[in-house]
Structure formats: C-alpha cells, structure tokens
Chain A
Amino acid sequence: MSANIEQKVKNIIADQLGVGEDEIKITSSFIEDLGADSLDIVELVMAMEEEFEVEIPDEEAENIKTVQDAVNYITTHKK
C-alpha cells in the first residue's frame, strides 16, 4: 500500500511542480531539490488532502519537507 501511496504522491508532485517523475526521489526535499516555494507546498498539501481524503493541519504541514515526510504522514493518517 505504501508503494502505491508513494507513486501517487510522486504523480501529484510532478503535476503541481512541473518536474519530471524521474527527478523525484523519496529523499527529495520540495524546496531544496524540487524548486518549490511556500505556496507550491500549500498547493501540494491541498492536492494530497484531496487525493487521500486526509486533513493536514498547518502545523503538521510545516514538518512535511520531503517526499518521505509526505508518504509517512499519509500512510499514518489515511483512513
């Protein structure tokens, strides 16, 4: 299931940030490696909330800095 989540997260990131999926590693940092800014991250969080039907509060979103962080959060909180 986690692999499936990881793939979906990568799809969302590729779509939102306009980067190739092959550039996205599990360790990639949104800001440092993928060129996201603070509003891109808000949009990423929104897209993940909608795709996985989870709520990611602002204070939690601040700790989601890498692809791994996102996959971990969703795996833990997905209903």
Chain B
Amino acid sequence: MRSLIAGTGSYAPAKILTNADIEKLVDTSDQWIVERTGIRQRHVAAPEEATSDLALAAARRALESAKLDPADVEMIVVGTVTPDYQFPSVAAVVQGKLGNKKAFAFDLTAACAGSLYALSIADRFVSTGAVKNALVIGADALTRITDWTDRNTCILFGDGAGAMVLRPTDEPGRGVLTTRLHTDGSLVSILLMPGGGSRDPLSQKVLDERSHFVKMNGREVFKVAVRALVESCREVLAAEGLTPADVKHVIAHQANKRILDATLERLEIPASRCWMNLEKYGNTSAASVPMTLDEANRAGWFQPGDPILMMAIGGGMAWGASIVRW
C-alpha cells in the first residue's frame, strides 16, 4: 500500500507587493531583484490574517478537490516557521476551524523544507494503514518576520499556504514512492531568526538589534542549497532506479530562480520541466512546494502515473527530495 496525493489546494492573500513597491522601502530596483531572484511580486497577509487562516483556506480547497469531508481527516501536519502562537500549533487551530474532532494535529519546523518533511511523515502513517486520510499543509507568513530595512532579504519573501490530502492506494504505479530527508545542523547560523525564542526572549535588546527577523548569509545558502538539492535528487532517483531523463515534472521549493537553474543544470533536467511561480509569489517557505504542486495540478500538468521529482531546502539546513507517481 502507498499513499496517493488525492487532492491539492492553495491560498495566497489578496494584497500584492510588487518590486516597484519595494523600491520605495529600500535601495533596490526591479531589474536588480529580477536578475538575482526571478521574483516580480509577492503576496502579503492582511493584518488580521494569521498563518492558520492561510492554512485553513488551502486545506478547504484540498479537501474539496479530494472530495473528502473535513470531519473524516485523521491526521493534520503543518510545516511552518511562523505559527499563530508560540504554542499551540497551527494544526490545532486548523483542526478546530474545520470542525474536525478525529485528527491528531501538530506542526513541524523544517523551514522551507517543512512541507516535504510533513509529506514524508504523513506518508508513513498512511502507507502503513495507521490512518486513512491525512492533511499535509505548508503555511507561512514570512513577511511577519521580514526585516523591511534589509535589502538583501526583504525582496525575497511572500506569504501563502498549500495543502495536500493523502489517502491509501493499492493501484500499481501510483503514489509517494521514495522520500529522503537530511539535516546539517552545523549550518544553523547561515539562515535563522535568532531573537524571540528561548535563547534570546523578546526584549528591548532583541527589538533594537532587529534579531526577531530572518537573518541570512545568501552566498553560503546558495552554495549549500545547490549542492544539497542535487545530491538529494540523485539519491531518490537512484533509489527508484530512475535517471534524470525519466523525470516528467519537477516541483521544487521556489527559493530563488538562480538556485533552481543551477540545480537543474547540474541534474541535466531541462528547466521547462520545473513548474515556476516565484515570479508571482516569491519565496513562501513551507507553503512553496504544495502551492506549486496545486497550481501545476489545476493547470492539468499531471497524468496518473507521471513521475514527479519534488525537492526543498531551508533553514537548519534541512532538505530533502521525493519521487511521487501522480
């Protein structure tokens, strides 16, 4: 038995911030941003919208597309680094608002790799028969932890949510085949939000140092990302006896166009096989993979049985790749 992605959904908040809008905040230009990132605009959550609101909207769309009654969901996992509260989880809030009583619900932190981690965990429960229906969500409101005075990072991030419904299948040649996850904790310092946690609780000092915002060493992240993604993709392809030429579609965390171009070039997979939407949404962290999957799915990109390579990397550094047959 395997788990099948039986439905997808996504949600992006209504407000759009273009590169021209960002030119008014920091010293940058549309051309500079597009050349280095591929991003043209991003969506920003309204002041009253929290991560769970984004997650809930994406979840409802995924449930609808899987024709699944919210009451029947047995497991909810949310990958996020911007929860509504320090605790409890976004997943608990979503469960409550769905009116579901059956599911156990929790969040996990793997930054931009969060939804791939969540997919991998939910897959273990579904493919072993422990649960029949799982809701996997990636949701983040990164603009809430973005330093709008830092021209190196504020151009990158956007808000959104994506969701997938997993259910068991015995159909041969379909389902989540292999997922491999990795972490290198020696790289914690190259991408993190240092302030506001138990290391350095919220204080005037944290506010003055602006350490309650994302800090990133972009050059190091770029290097690690390309190498880790390439290695990880090769690992899952080898596990399934596939070559890059066999990959029909790529769904990748939309971190930066240059990172993805470099990764695909090294893998020798044509860029045209990778669904790109970061020009519209920016880097939406854990939301990125399921949002991209949903957009490609609704555009009719996948046929049953198509081999899809999924990949993501984020702070930790935490990363992974997956082979799914649609």
Contacts and interface: CB of A to CB of B under 8 A. Distances in A.
Contacts of B219: 38, 42, 58, 61
A44 to B, nearest CB: 11
A31 interface: no
Contacts of A58: 217, 219-220
Nearest to B35: A37
Given A38-B218, A43-B258, A46-B227, 10 more contacts: A37-B36, A39-B36, A39-B222, A42-B219, A42-B223, A43-B262, A45-B223, A46-B226, A58-B217, A58-B220
Interface of B: 35-36, 217-220, 222-223, 226-227, 258, 262
Nearest to B259: A39
Interface of A: 37-39, 42-43, 45-46, 58, 61
B226 A39 contact: no
A42 B227 CA distance: 12
22 contacts: A37-B35, A37-B36, A38-B36, A38-B218, A38-B219, A39-B36, A39-B222, A39-B258, A42-B219, A42-B222, A42-B223, A43-B222, A43-B258, A43-B262, A45-B223, A46-B223, A46-B226, A46-B227, A58-B217, A58-B219, A58-B220, A61-B219
Contacts of A43: 222, 258, 262
A61 B217 CA distance: 13
